[in-house]
Amino acid sequence: MLHEGNKTIDEARQGEAVMREAIRPNGKKLLLESYGCQMNFSDSEIVVSILSDVGFNTTREAEDADVVLMNTCAIRDNAEQRVRNRLNYFRSLKKKRPHLVVGILGCMAERLREQLLEEEKLVDLVVGPDAYRDLPNLIEQVHGGQKAVNVLLSREETYADIAPVRLDDNGVTAFISIMRGCDNMCSFCVVPFTRGRERSRDPESIVLEAQELFNQGYREVTLLGQNVDSYKWNMTSKGEIKDESRPTVNFAQLMEKVAAVSPELRVRFSTSHPKDMTDDVLHAMSRHENICKYIHLPIQSGNNEVLKNMNRGYTREWYLERIAAIRRIMPDCAISTDIIAGFCGETEAQHADTLSIMEEVQYDMAYMFKYSERPRTLAERKFEDDVPEEVKGRRLQEIIDLQMECSRRRTERMVGHDYRVLVEGTSKKSAEMLYGRNSQNVVVVFPKGNLKPGDYAVVHTSECTATTLIGTVVSQ
Ligand code: 5AD
Ligand code: SF4
């Protein structure tokens, strides 16, 4: 499961614009806003590719746009509320400019389907995550005066042949989507309903994409999937070979193939599932210097009964054994997690188990949430959302306080060491300073010298804030 952020896309990068010179502009401007997890940001790069192929140019200004699309998240109710507020704003723009097309993409589109169109009359266009190839037709349909919907989920679609238009313009780090959907059915989670069945993308197209990014100057790729450990090519979900004449590829093997593109290309991945994370993956990570020593391993709760109700497929003991395996195979590996406070029926003692596993693991970082009941999920059908809002809030605060303390101690422990850092850009606080990350994904800030984004430097750290290291370059 992947993580949230949100931003508006920028103009397509210069290089892409050159490659796409042959396409005749249709005179229409597209604003695409992305909400939610990294997968959504990656999907937005596919959407822009599809629409620039039929002549759309991108814009950052809603006031300037002919088509506004929002790529949305449905994971928690507050994510949906944010989107609704924005849709109301677009509706007010549409009153002044009736030809403006407003569309909703992604998980909220898939979840609510016609409802946003018919009952709430908020949008003209509703398109689910597996139907983006149909966008040019659907937009045409709206121009022809109709409303348009395509929320069909697919068992095959991976958009493997579509070259994403990179929207994060640092030119150093990029996402590569390696699989889509999720078969896990965690009881709290809406993703299996909005993104459909799990399917893996052809490994050759993944390696080619990594190679092309490297050739263009990128130095870090993040392999994305809801559950990357269950990546399987040419294998059924039970592990049987589909086509004897072709090779099979699992996640450990895929990662090694991508790492082999160049020792100067860093490889990251997200997200791992504790029940599926094998020692093979850990050994592959430890064999390659350029596979970053960072694992995001969501625990959700430290209590076995809650984990069972969440349908997570592992126990506290199993999880701790996986943590021990990481520490055994890669003592310098950073570990982060996801935690949900106040799941259905959670008692004070069960909440205390979550705090105690946090103490035990000492996570480097965590994403922490209050439980939010989602329609159609197993938890909604089976359990009562019975932890009062103020209790959820208090428990979440205890979790956050403990994690802040852990993260601060982690950063302090990293002071006084040398780290190889990939330079990503100029520090927000000073034009004379650059920032980058070490393998463990901690931000490191240091004086510019003659370095530029995409370079590597070894930085000796001498001070820190709660989350950032500060140092000087010792070698390049
Ligand atoms: N309520 C709260 N948090 C949730 N997550 C997923 N579904 C819910 C929900 N219904 C969290 C999980 C997941 C992360 C991306 O979002 O912790 O790992
Ligand atoms: Fe992640 Fe579980 Fe949701 Fe799948 S069902 S996306 S594994 S939280």
Helix (H) / strand (E) containing 212? helix 203-215
Tell me: pLDDT of 7 over 60: no
Which residues are paired to 249 by β-bridges? 233
Tell me: pLDDT of 5 over 70: no
Q: What angle do CA 93, 94, 96 make, to 5 degrees?
A: 70
Which of 75, 182, 378 best tests ligand 1's pocket when mutated (most atoms within 8 Å of CB)?
75
What local confidence, expressed as pLDDT, does residue 450 receive?
A: 95
* Cα–Cα distance measured from residue 256 to residue 267, given in angstroms and rounded to the nearest whole number: 9
pLDDT in tens, 127-177: 999 999 999 999 999 999 999 999 999 999 999 999 999 998 789 999 999
Helix (H) / strand (E) containing 475? strand 468-475
* Cα–Cα distance measured from residue 57 to residue 80, given in angstroms and rounded to the nearest whole number: 27
Strand runs (DSSP E) across 116-217, as ranges?
A: 125-127, 148-150, 173-177, 179-180, 199-200
Rg (CA), the chain: 23
pLDDT in tens, 186-212: 999 999 999 999 999 999 999 999 999
The pairing of strands 443-447 and 433-437 is: antiparallel
Helix and strand totals (H; E) in the chain: 15, 22
Helix (H) / strand (E) containing 140? helix 135-143
Check if the beta carbon of residue 337 is closer than 8 Å to that of residue 297: yes
Task: Work out the percent of the chain whose per-residue pLDDT is above 70.
Answer: 95
pLDDT in tens, 377-396: 999 999 999 999 999 999 99
For residue 2, give both structure tokens.
């992947």
- Residue 303 CB contacts under 8 Å (≥ 6 apart), including other chains: 316, 346, 349, 350, 351, 353, 354
Ligand 2 close to Cβ of residue 180 (< 6 A)? no
Which residues are paired to 445 by β-bridges? 435, 470
What local confidence, expressed as pLDDT, does residue 6 receive?
A: 44
Ligand 2 close to Cβ of residue 184 (< 6 A)? yes
pLDDT in tens, 405-426: 999 999 999 999 999 999 999 9
What local confidence, expressed as pLDDT, does residue 236 receive?
A: 76
What local confidence, expressed as pLDDT, does residue 3 receive?
A: 57
For 405-410, which contacts have Cβ atoms below 8 Å and span 24 or more sequence positions? 406/358, 406/362, 406/363, 406/364, 407/363, 407/364, 407/365, 407/366, 407/466, 407/467, 408/466, 408/467, 409/362, 410/334, 410/362, 410/364, 410/442
Ligand 2 close to Cβ of residue 227 (< 6 A)? yes
DSSP state, 9?
Answer: -
Tell me: pLDDT of 21 over 80: no
pLDDT in tens, 88-102: 999 999 999 999 999
- Residues touching ligand 1 (Cβ under 6 Å) are 1, 3, 75-76, 188-189, 298, 300, 338, 340, 369, 371-372, 374
Lowest-confidence segment of 53-57, 238-242, 293-297 by average pLDDT: 238-242
Tell me: pLDDT of 11 over 60: no
Tell me: pLDDT of 234 over 90: no
Tell me: pLDDT of 15 over 60: no
φ, ψ for residue 192 (rounded to 5)? Answer: -60, -25
What local confidence, expressed as pLDDT, does residue 24 receive?
A: 79
Q: Calculate how far, in angstroms, residue 197's C-alpha sits from the geometric centre of ligand 2.
A: 11
The mean pLDDT of the chain is 93
In the chain, what are the domains? Answer: 3-150 (3.40.50.12160), 173-414 (3.80.30.20), 418-475 (2.40.50.140)
Name the residue at shortest CA distance from atom 3 of ligand 2: 189
Q: Calculate how far, in angstroms, residue 239's C-alpha sits from the geometric centre of ligand 2.
A: 20
Q: Could you give the 3-state DSSP secondary structure of residue 52?
A: helix
What global pTM score does this model have?
0.93
